[in-house]
Structure 1
Amino acid sequence: MIECNQKTIPPLPWHAFIEYSYMLKLVTRKVFQRFLLYLVGFLVFVFVFLMIVAERFVGPLINERLRTLIVQGSEGLYTYKLDGLDASFLGGSVEVENLRIDIDSARYRELLAKEAVPSLTMQLDVGKAHIKGIGVFALLFSKKVLIHEIFTQDANVRLIRHKIKRETQHQSEVPLWKAIRPAIKLVDVDQIKLDGIKLLYKSADTAESMKLQFDTCYAVFNDIRIDSIAAQDESRIGFTKEIDMRFRDLKFRMPDSTYKMKAEAINFSSKNKILELVDFKVQPTLKDKEAFYKAVGVQRSMNVITFERAKLTNFQLGQFVRREIISADSLLIEKPEFYFYTDKTQPPLLESKMGKYPHQQLLNMDAIVQIKGMAVRNANLTYIEKGEKTHEEGKLTLNGIDMSMSNITNDPQLIKRNPRCIAKVYGGILGNSPLNMEFIFYLDSTNGRFDVTGSVRHVDATQLNALAIPLANTRLQSFNMQYLRFQLSGNDNEAWGSVFMRYNNLYVVLQKKDEETGKLSIKKFLTKIVNKYTLKDSNPGPDGRERTAVPVIRARITTQSFFGLIWQTLFTGMQTIMVNSGRIE
């Protein structure tokens, strides 16, 4: 038996084991760090590679997506031109230069022949725009356009309104989200900001030639989403969740340049659905009376209209853009001032006013109107007429006028439910005489039917002489009217009704004007005859019996306005009572 002597290896001391473990960890850490370094380097390489690729392809891809959105989305109605597009993959941003969107004339004529032109079209010139926060990978790999913000301070926008038949307004069109498929599955933009751009709104009808020019426009559009889900969201205006717009320095001129319009601001917020017009004014381009009538050459009224503020509440902007429907709960006009001047020495304006009563003009509007109520607060009206024979100016004033109006609509469905538009007017006339009137307009009438009732109280000779002397060469030496009440109805051809008037101390002085000196003198003999045998100085008379004008009938001439017919009918009734030919009660 052979025995081998084996040398026994002593165990490692504990401090050596710790040292060995430390060395092992150190080697592992270095290997891991080297691995991370290689991994980071690889990822950087991949990132740089993707950045280079993206820089090469993102710009053209965005360009192509814009073309699809504009041209294909409008079914060829618009053309698209872009001079420069600088895309940055690293920042997810794009700089756009000289973007122009125009209407394709051939396609426009084709749609026009089919009566399929949208009610509102657009032309756009953008010098520079900034697109920030683009979802590059979504754009490259999933056909989704995701953008944080689009911003421009350098743009001109032209909006053109097209007249379309009401029966074709609700015809279905290919939805935008469907028209851009399959090239684009989704467009999602957090915000579009327009800062100080120029905006022109005009009518495509050259006969109308209406143009509204805004020198400065600020607008913010939040949460724009173009897909099938957003298209079903009725709270969106188009595809936009929230809109805030402010227009400054409105300018407008009539086609014949006789009138111009301006406003300090127009504001709209979709959050509270309020459209507001601030410091509005319409006035003749030629402010001097002689220059105005030299230009128009006829008895056209020279008008100036101003108001501090007009506000539409619950205004449905989406309805107006898509279907040209003016829909709101209420319209409030604050402190309007109306100034009307007519020179009767000019040749008469031989223009038919048939079919131009207030409610007839409402019914004939191209846009559909759905306004539940309107209120006018603290209005003042001044009417001045230069007499044809006297060449003097008579003045009628209405002050502190409040008006309320309900059911302002030309929508056939709403008219079936309620065919009456009612307006109530309260205020003062000829200074401080209380005025109260109510108008009923029958919207379902084919001949302009209307009713009007009203009363005026406490009018004296001094007040009426402001009209009687310059317009009729007649002076009221004395007159005290306690009240005037009337109930009238009318249509396109005539007005009829009843007039009641109580007064006393009526004495009229007839005058004549010397053509050479211009001085007024009294027609003494004719004045005595008229006051003694024609006019009655009081009503009721000494016997206590009251005269009334029932019925009063006045035929309308074709050139007579709505208020002209009412005044002539009312004046006929007053004459009937004053000359003792009225009915005795």
Structure 2
Amino acid sequence: MKKALLIGGGILIALAIGLFFYLKNRKLTDFNPLIREKLQSLVLKGSDSLYRLTFDTLIADVIDSRLTVTKIVLTPDTTVLQKMRNTGNAPKDIFKVSLDSLVVDGLNIADFTSNKNVDLNVLHVRQPSVEVFHAKTPKQDSADRLKLSTLRIRIAKQMNHLAINKVQILDMNVQLHTLSNDTVQKTSKFRNVNFLLDDVLIDSVAAIDSTRFMYSKQALISLQDLKFRTKDSLYLIGLDSITINASEKNVLISNFYIKPNGTNKAFRNKLKFIKERYTGQFKTVELKQISWWSIASSDYFRADEVHMNNGSLEVYTDRSLPPFPRSKVGNFPHQLLMKSPFPINLKRLKVTNFDLSYQEFNPKTDEKGEVSFKDINGTLENITNDPQLIAQNNIMKLDASAKPMGEGKLDAIFKFYLDKAKDGIFSVDAFLHPMDGRAFDKATRPLGMFGVEKATIKGMDVHVDGTNYNGRGTVVLKYDDLQIAALKQDGDKLKKRGFLSFIANSFVLIPSNPEKNTPVRKASAYYRRDVHKSFFSIIWKTILIGIMKTVGFDSGVKKVK
């Protein structure tokens, strides 16, 4: 009996060793046709016959629980695609995918070849190439979009579930082609894209699980060195890197920038009319608590906060060009928000440590004037174009502070009335703290042909109500010791006009407000907008008229255009 057991045990051990070496050496060659058929069937059925999967070799190793597939290509069937288009069921995005190899660890061959469950450990893909063809189609409502099942949902219907502990997609290159009438209108390229996904589950429940991103509980997606040109080729927009932490619902962008192509002169030569030139950057832009499900299911952008930190924006205008011929009515901040092609609900936009400068070239003086605001910190709240949310709160509010000309302090509150955006209704309340008025000299000399030789600003209160066509408000400017220098062009320099300066300071301008034993002067202001000029021109010129009236320069009000 004992001998029989030893013989039987020896035979079993021999059979096990033989089976091990057979499986190890054959690499499950006998199973390859079954696995190949299963993979191709999943793709074919899951895409309603739209996509075809081909590959060169498939090596399945049951001992190491590993599957390696090489030279994989996923392509759409053009005949099936045309039939889908004819019936209106074609997806807006068509894909072409190729990769040298795909490695799967933790493969259970029995589960995979059956039609039940697939549970994997790691799916590793390196350097894939993906082409996306995006067709511009009429906007669909959310109900219609939900009816269009994605490839992943259709694949999920072919089995009970597909679970993967970890997915690694490294160094992916993506080309996004935007189509119009089947013709490529624009191509954007994304290089070195990385996907790290944990706890991926594809089944009927996960397909509608709002806590998952791309079917994963945790996802980290990164892109580097992203660049693209604007449609008019005037600007290059880019960023150093973008990292999406889907599990925390956050996005971090590093060094976002916009740069004009060429110098001021080169930019000017591309224009027929006056147009502002922008140069800007932010060290970091962080989006917090993004609702991925709202974006994926219904093209609805929803987030709690966007925080833009350590940035600057330079705006340059060359007044030697002809005026812009078309009206700019309809381009106020809240009006642009209403023009968005999809609903937006952003609770808060924060800007910290931001510098803004406006430069204007005056051909009459052949010089550039500059108005700057340093160290801007502000919060814009209730950024939405959703009618239901606007009915609950109709005001988009900006509360900000800054250092005008790098000195003093300016506090301002902007209110944009979202329910009256068509008429451009807004208001501004601002307070300028005490500062040396000579700081404005570098703006008034080239732009206004006068210098500020002396002025002590004790404070300024401003209120402006604006519409598409006018600004109306009040200005209370408190100051002492106002003294200016009237200027004239002398060759390539500005020269003081002594007599005119004397007349202005002695007989025209009021040196202080309030004057001794008199109440503080309060000036009302009205400005009818030049529709070819910007939103900020209404605010600035309404305030300027109030300042002119306060200092006694009433004759200059008519020249404000």
TM-score higher than 0.5 here?
A: yes
Note the alpha carbon deviations across 1:286-322, whole angstroms, 9 max, x for none. Answer: 1x22222223354322222112211112223343334
Alignment of 1:243-282 (within 5 A): 243-282=219-258
Pairs within 5 Å for 1:161-180: 168-171=141-144, 172-173=146-147, 175=149, 179-180=154-155
Q: TM-score scaled by structure 1?
A: 0.84
**Paired residue for 2:523?**
549
**2:39 counterpart SS class:** helix
Q: Which of 505, 509, 512 is the matching residue for 1:538?
A: 512
* 2:218 paired with 1:239: no
SS at match of 1:347: coil
Residues 502 and 163 (structure 1), Cα distance of their counterparts in 2 relative to 1, 3 Å cut = farther
In structure 1, give the amino acid aligned to 2:195: A
Equivalent residue for 1:506, pick from 463, 482, 504: 482
Distance 1:371 1:117 in 2: 32
Offset of residue 562 of structure 1 = 1.2
Q: How does 1:37-56 map to 2 (within 5 A)?
A: 37-40=10-13, 55-56=28-29
Give, as a single letter, the amino acid of the residue that structure 2 aligns with 1:535. Answer: L
* Aligned counterpart in structure 1 of residue 103 of structure 2, from 123, 130, 147: 130
Structure 2 match to 1:66: 39
Distance in 2 separating the partners of 1:528 and 1:401: 38
CA deviation after TM superposition for structure 1 residue 434, in Å:
0.9
Q: In the TM superposition, what is the alpha-carbon distance from 1:401 to its structure 2 partner? A: 1.2
What is the CA-CA distance between 1:132 and the residue it aligns to?
A: 2.3
AA partner of residue 7 (structure 2) = R
- Quote the residue 2:7 is aligned against: 34
Aligned length: 551
1:200: Cα distance to partner? 4.3
* 1:99/1:323 CA distance change after superposition, 3 Å: farther
1:567-578 aligned at under 5 Å gives the runs 567-578=540-551
1:193 aligns with 2:168: yes
For 1:243, the aligned partner's letter is A
Query: Secondary structure of 2:487's partner?
Result: strand
Q: Of 434, 440, 456, which residue of structure 2 is paired with 1:458? A: 434
In structure 1, the partner of 2:277 is: 302
Q: 1:486-501 counterparts in 2 under 5 A?
A: 486-501=462-477
CA positional deviation for 1:37 = 3.3
For 1:331 and 1:181, the matched residues in 2 are separated by 35
Separation (CA, whole Å) in 1 of partners of 2:187 and 2:550: 51
Maintained 8 Å contact 2:350/2:380: yes
**What amino acid is aligned across from residue 260 of structure 1 in structure 2?**
L
- Distance in 2, matches of 1:49 and 1:144, equals 26
- 2:492 equivalent to 1:518: yes
Tell me what 1:184 maps to.
159
The equivalent of 1:16 in structure 2 is none
CA separation in 1, counterparts of 2:446 and 2:527?
Answer: 25
Tell me how far 1:392 sits from its aligned partner: 0.3
The Cα offsets for residues 106-155 of structure 1, whole Å up to 9 and x where unpaired, read as 66666667776656654422122222222100122344333222212221
Match of 2:559 in 1: none
Provide Cα deviations, 1:351-395, integer angstroms capped at 9, x if missing partner. 432221112212222243222212211111122111131110111
Contact kept, 8 Å, 2:46 with 2:157, in 1: the verdict is: no
User: SS of 1:547's equivalent?
Assistant: coil
Sort the Cα spacing of 1:494 and 1:195 in 2 relative to 1 into closer, same or farther, 3 A.
same
Which amino acid is the alignment partner of residue 511 of structure 1? L
Give the superposition deviation at 1:269.
1.5
Q: Do the aligned residues in 2 keep the contact of 1:119 with 1:323 (CA within 8 Å)?
A: no
Q: Distance in 1 between matches of 2:373 and 2:78?
A: 52
Name which of structure 1's ranges 142-151 and 34-43 shifts more when overlaid on structure 2: 34-43
Contact 2:89/2:148, CA 8 A, preserved across alignment:
no
Which of 422, 436, 439 is the aligned partner of 2:411? 436
CA distance in 1, matches of 2:217, 2:545: 59
Partner of residue 425, structure 1: 400
Larger deviation, residues 169-178 vs 219-228: 169-178
Secondary structure of residue in 2 paired with 1:336: strand
2:291–2:301 CA contact under 8 A, matched in 1: yes
Letter in 1 for 2:171: G
- Residue in structure 2 matched with residue 472 of structure 1 by the alignment: 448
Separation in 2, partners of 1:581, 1:294: 38
* Shift in alpha-carbon separation, 1:155–1:229, aligned structure 2, 3 A: same
Distance 1:114 1:355, change over 3 A: farther
**Matched residues in 2 for 1:448 and 1:549: separation?**
24
**8 Å CA contact retained: 1:119, 1:321:** no
Q: Aligned with 1:191: secondary structure? A: strand
Following the alignment from structure 2 to structure 1, what is the Cα–Cα distance between the partners of residues 439 and 88? 57
Q: Tell me the distance in 2 between the aligned counterparts of 1:218 and 1:126.
A: 14
Q: Comparing 410-419 with 38-47, which one deviates more in the overlay? A: 38-47
3-state secondary structure, aligned to 1:346: coil
User: Counterpart in 2 of 1:353?
Assistant: 328
Task: Structure 2: give runs of 5+ residues left out of the alignment.
Answer: 556-561
Percent identical residues? 23
- Compare CA radii of gyration and give the structure with the larger one: 1
Which residue matches 1:373? 348
What amino acid maps onto 2:213 in structure 1? I
Aligned to 1:227: 203
Taking the aligned partners of 2:81 and 2:457, their CA distance within structure 1 comes to 65
